[in-house]
Amino acid sequence: MSAEFNEEQKKAITHKDGPAMVLAGPGSGKTLVITYRVKWLIEQAGVHPSNILVITFTRAAAREMEQRFKKLMESEQTPVMFGTFHSVFFMILRYAYRYTGRNIVREEERRNYVKEMIDEKELEIEDEAEFLTGILNEISYVKGEMMDLSLYHSSNCADDLFQEIYNGYEQRLRSRQMLDFDDMLVFCYELLRERPDILKMWQERFRYILVDEFQDINRIQYEIVKMLAGERENLFIVGDDDQSIYRFRGAKPEIMLGFQKDYPAAKQMILRINYRCSQEIVDGARRLISHNTKRFDKDLTAARGSRTPIVYRQFDTVSAECGDIVNGIRFYLKKEIPPEEIAVIFRTNTQPRLLAGRLMEYNIPFQMRDILPNIFEHWIAKNIVTYLKLAMGARDRSLFLQIMNRPKRYISRKMLPDPEVDLKALKQQTFGKRWLYEKIDKLEMDLYLLKKMEPYAAVQYIRNRVGYEEYLAEYASFRRMNPDDLTEILDQIQESAKEYHTVEEWFAYIEEYGEELKKQIEAGRRMDNKGVTLTTMHSAKGLEYEVVFVMDMNEGVTPHKKAVKDADLEEERRLMYVALTRAKTYLFLYSVKEMYQKEAKPSRYIAEIRYSTGSFRAGQRIKHKKYGTGTVVQIDGDKVTLRFDKNPRTKIFSLRFLTEQGMIATIS
């Protein structure tokens, strides 16, 4: 075995028979291990290439793995099969049922099936595109987990409505002899379970199975892989439980954690050496992830050694934060670090709106790994803009229809026969319904008052005095959403209006921003992966950069406010772990004191990254912001005992309290 491999890599590459689990930390060479193991099986262990199956999660990953292997073997022809779960399972179905590509439903058709049912039920869904995506994701989750539909609780709508949509969707697929990507898994599982002869045939074909990114596997994928591995148990899995970040897609990190219970004879290898990051980044990431309880413990080290400390900065506002990030990018560009080696990472794709605008101002080329949504195209923004257009004198029926019952005013469409709306004439149609007359009269007065306001004040008035926030709360209840998710959109819209004194100025900005965003997105496509990268934590996985800025490290952002359960919080920490380990040398962490006119607390992760109980030692002198200078007396687990000079009594603090609350000013 070549000296270019470390000892753990050698053990993994030369493993022959029986189950094995390779825990591959960030930058530890897992792709190298997989490709060289396939080569070793063929050349040294005498395994026929056609008996080897390599499974990964995306077509791009499967293609890259196959290309690396062909280059390694110096041959374009190899009967080793590289594929995704879906491509492999569909191949099995194709042989059994003669399916072709024409039997696979297109994404557009799936959405149309659900939309047809919404239209039939005459449901008023404001965020229809988001609703369709949510429902289809839930359908996928139910199939992937092999769940009893009657026991599933929808997070997008009432359970009985979801069951109707699910059954209607399935009926449409079956009547057209179509199957979706999840059916490929379900049908394959059922086929192999019910036909031992077919299962035996594929077990003979695939005698050695290698699975990449195993931490992202779901229940049904795992059950099929176990069946294919059969009694030989030549199942070689590679992954990192600390990088499992797709629970929302059905990924089950606990499957990897329980692998050795299913396969007690499985050998375990840990790729401990990180060839990507500096020691400072590896140490910070290790301190962070050590706070998760459900994980394999790994003592990782950096091959590159020590470089430069992780930098943490806190700013008063998001605007100041974005200004500093832009200055940092310009600094490294002047140091001739290519823009492709610089990334800004954030939790959700709505965060970089202001940053993108600043980059445009400085003509810094950037590429978005995710679609940067134009917040002004959101239905809530359109409602706000419509109110202001009506306040400025517009009376188009199409505009009025958008907001006339937001909040509920019980105005009927039948009361609006003309292309233009006359509010005085509308009041005359109330026919003694005093309550309806008063609602229309109030709307007329609201529009009159809005006309005199600056944009920021006008949005505030619409939210509170017009009653738009009450409407959002009712809608959130119907959609089983957290109303805070909708008010956050309102916050962002209102924040954008702050700098403008007239509605006309704000509208001009909205139009200009939309046009500039389109140009930038188009330019990003033409640049072919050139420019500074703006990416969510999810989309950053698998990538690496010389310089990384992680923005908005605040409670409620990361960890996200939706993360309440322990499992959710552990996944949020894994997301941050992924973000940190994208950086090779320079890593900057940012938080703000205020977000949308509200106090914002620094993320708990900042403390976890910077400190661990290993940061303290007995006899060490520290300065505490409240109690003054003191001495570390004892460290026990996550508890630190301190004795202060002014008050000789000892005090015991949890590490999280000391660091999260910013209580430690200096450690010397």
Which of 52-61, 143-152, 620-629 shows the lowest per-residue confidence on average (mean pLDDT)? 620-629
- My answer on whether omega of the bond before 19 falls inside 30° of 0, hence cis, is no
In this prediction, residues 470-493 reach a mean pLDDT of: 87
pTM for this model (two decimals): 0.82
pLDDT bucket at 56, cuts 50 / 70 / 90: very high
Query: What pLDDT does residue 590 have?
Result: 94
The pLDDT of residue 35: 94
What local confidence, expressed as pLDDT, does residue 4 receive? 83
Quickly state the pLDDT bin for 12 (edges 50, 70, 90): very high
Model confidence band, residue 561 (pLDDT cutoffs 50, 70, 90): confident
Residues 6+ positions from 216 with CB-CB distance below 8 Å = 57, 239, 244, 246, 249, 251
Distances 113 to 149, 156, 176, 587, 598 between C-alpha atoms, Å: 19, 17, 12, 46, 42
- Measured in degrees and rounded to the nearest 5, phi and psi for residue 417 equal -80, -20
With a CB cutoff of 8 Å and minimum separation 6, the contacts of 637 are 613
Q: How far apart are the first and last CA of the chain?
A: 47
- DSSP state, 396? B
pLDDT at 615 over 70: no
Q: Is the Cα torsion angle 134, 138, 139, 140 positive or negative in sign?
A: positive
The pLDDT confidence band at residue 2, using thresholds 50, 70 and 90, is: low
**115-129, 289-303, 467-481: lowest mean pLDDT where?**
115-129
H-only helix segments in 352-433: 353-361, 379-391, 397-403, 423-428
What is the tens place of the pLDDT at every residue in 19-53? 999 999 999 999 999 999 999 999 999 999 999 99
| 312-330 pLDDT per residue, tens | 899 999 999 999 999 999 9
Per-residue pLDDT at 668 exceeds 50:
no
Residue 146: pLDDT band with limits 50, 70, 90: confident
Q: What is the mean pLDDT of residues 79-98?
A: 93
Q: What is the pLDDT of residues 501-525, one digit of tens each?
A: 999 999 999 998 888 778 766 765 6
